[in-house]
């Protein structure tokens, strides 16, 4: 796949009139909202009180922050990606507000496996068809989109100037979000107050159901919008677009028409490949659609069940040493899983803290 692309998707003009102007920033309220979440991240997980001033974020660190937002970051909010702390963190006192640190265990590793572009387009077509045949229930007024997942990060921890690579043990994460994005709740084991924390925001969320349901479902128009609004992020326009689509597939509940279009749009991104075997954070083996970021050396993989082709989760694997790595980055060897997630439940429920089991 990806051999017949003239012009490049980022240069398309035929759909320009269909797309709203690309937003470049968030309202002041949303800046404050994400700033507060960023500060909470800085102070949790027993890693933080004596950290030095944040260095400018390296491009490969963008995903580390996107994995940890309250809600999947909107496409229009990519400008905030530069507001990140360095991926190397310093151990300090315990988390605040009754939060416990996520337990760490052995460094997560995997066989890198072979990646091939052969048949990737056909695979994404099949995945798109499967998504189109699995309608997503539409939330009504007063209801909430519920997404439950298991996730874990790998990072470089610094204690007394000694750097070590550690991995979190996979832990549970639960998110509730109203259709308009104004109300929500987050419970994440070890990464927040016990009992959870509010996600309420008067400005709503550009990744809410209401907004996602209005995105174009024409793959060309959708991909053009993705390229436009992820411009300047990541290590290349193609990698930024692939990561943006991955963000929308993760901690959200895309309408079936949009999900199908996202896969067809991804098939048009140069460098997208398939990996015959990949395992998510819940231990489920599947087939993956992936793309290698040559600068960071990381391969981002979207994992699907081999028979049903349902989305299972995501992982990021260090495949090479990357280009011009920082000294601490050299500690993360090829074969290290730097991030892993598994979506274990998606549903529409009638209230915050209600789960599908309780609902039915």
Res. 135 pLDDT band, cuts 50 70 90 = confident
Write out pLDDT tens, residues 143-196.
999 999 999 999 999 998 899 999 999 999 999 999 999 999 999 988 889 899
pLDDT at 66 over 90: no
Q: What are phi and psi of 226, to 5 degrees?
A: -60, -50
Please state the three-class secondary structure of the chain as a single string: CCCCCCCCHHHCCCCHHHCCCCCCCCCHHHHHHHHHHHHHHHHCCCCCCCCCCCCCCCHHHHHHHHCCCCCCCCHHHHHHHHCCCCCEEECCCCCCCCCCCCCEECCCECCCCCEECCCHHHHHHHHHHHHHCCCCCCCCCCCEEEEEEEEEEEEEEEECCEEEEEEECCEEEEEEECCCCCCEEEEECCCCCCCCEECCCCCCCCCCHHHHCCCCCCHHHHHHHHHHHCCCCCCCHHHHHHHHHHHHHCCCCCCHHHHHHHHHHHCCCCCCEEEEEEECCCCCEEEEEEEEECCCCEEEEEEECCCCCCEEEEEEEECCCCCCCCHHHHHCCCCEEEEEEEEEEEEEECCCCCCHHHHC
Res. 9 pLDDT band, cuts 50 70 90 = low
Residue 7 pLDDT: 55
Whole-number average pLDDT of the chain:
78
Residue 182 pLDDT: 95
pLDDT at 108 over 60: yes
Residue 205 pLDDT: 81
User: What is the C-alpha separation between 301 and 246, in angstroms, rounded?
Assistant: 9
Q: Across 99-103, 203-207, 232-236, 308-312, which has the greatest mean pLDDT?
A: 308-312
Peptide bond into 35 cis (omega under 30): no
- The answer to which of 4-8, 126-130, 160-164, 298-302 has the lowest mean pLDDT is 4-8
Residue 349 pLDDT: 97
Residue 10 pLDDT: 56
- The answer to which of 57-71, 126-140, 302-316 has the lowest mean pLDDT is 57-71
Write out pLDDT tens, residues 91-102.
433 334 444 578
Residue 130 pLDDT: 96
What percent of the chain has pLDDT above 70? 72
Residue 153 pLDDT: 95
- Supply the pTM of this predicted model: 0.76
Pairing of strands 197-198, 337-349: unpaired
pLDDT at 41 over 50: no
Residue 256 pLDDT: 83
Per-residue burial over 104-132, b if 16 or more Cβ lie within 10 Å, else e, is beebbebeebebeeeebbebbeebbebbb
pLDDT at 226 over 80: yes
User: What is the C-alpha separation between 341 and 301, in angstroms, rounded?
Assistant: 10
Q: Across 86-90, 96-100, 286-290, which has the greatest mean pLDDT?
A: 286-290
pLDDT at 46 over 80: no
Residue 311 pLDDT: 97
Half-sphere exposure in the Cβ direction for 316 (13 Å, CA): 26
């Amino acid at each position: 796949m990806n051999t017949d692309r003239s012009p490049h998707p980022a240069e398309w003009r035929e759909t320009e009139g269909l797309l709203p102007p690309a937003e470049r920033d968030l309202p002041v309220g949303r800046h404050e909202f994400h700033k507060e979440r960023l500060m909470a991240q800085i102070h949790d997980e027993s890693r933080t009180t004596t950290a030095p001033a944040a260095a400018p974020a390296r491009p490969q660190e963008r995903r580390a922050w996107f994995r940890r937002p309250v809600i999947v970051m909107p496409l229009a909010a990519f400008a905030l990606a530069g507001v990140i702390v360095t991926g190397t963190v310093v151990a300090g006192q315990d988390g605040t507000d009754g939060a416990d640190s996520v337990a760490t265990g052995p460094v997560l590793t995997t066989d890198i496996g072979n990646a091939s572009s052969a048949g990737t387009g056909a695979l994404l077509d099949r995945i798109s068809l499967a998504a189109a045949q699995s309608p997503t229930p539409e939330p009504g007024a007063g209801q909430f989109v519920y997404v439950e997942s298991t996730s874990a990060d790998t990072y470089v921890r610094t204690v007394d100037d000694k750097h070590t690579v550690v991995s979190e043990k996979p832990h549970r994460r639960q998110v509730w979000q109203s259709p308009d994005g104004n109300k929500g709740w987050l419970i994440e084991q070890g990464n927040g107050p016990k009992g959870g924390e509010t996600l309420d925001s008067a400005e709503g969320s550009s990744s809410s159901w209401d907004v996602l349901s209005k995105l174009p479902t024409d793959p060309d128009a959708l991909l053009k919008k993705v390229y436009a609004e992820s411009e300047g992020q990541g290590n290349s326009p193609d990698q930024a677009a692939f990561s943006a689509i991955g963000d929308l597939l993760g901690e959200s509940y895309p309408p079936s028409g949009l999900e199908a279009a996202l896969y067809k749009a991804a098939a048009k991104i140069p460098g997208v490949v398939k990996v015959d075997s990949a395992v998510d954070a819940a231990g489920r083996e599947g087939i993956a659609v992936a793309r290698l970021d040559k600068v960071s050396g990381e391969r981002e993989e979207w994992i699907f069940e081999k028979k049903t082709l349902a989305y299972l989760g995501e992982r990021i694997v260090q495949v090479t040493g990357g280009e011009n790595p920082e000294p601490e980055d050299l500690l993360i060897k090829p074969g290290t899983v730097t991030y892993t997630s598994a979506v274990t439940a998606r549903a529409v429920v009638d209230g915050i803290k209600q789960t599908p089991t309780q609902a039915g």
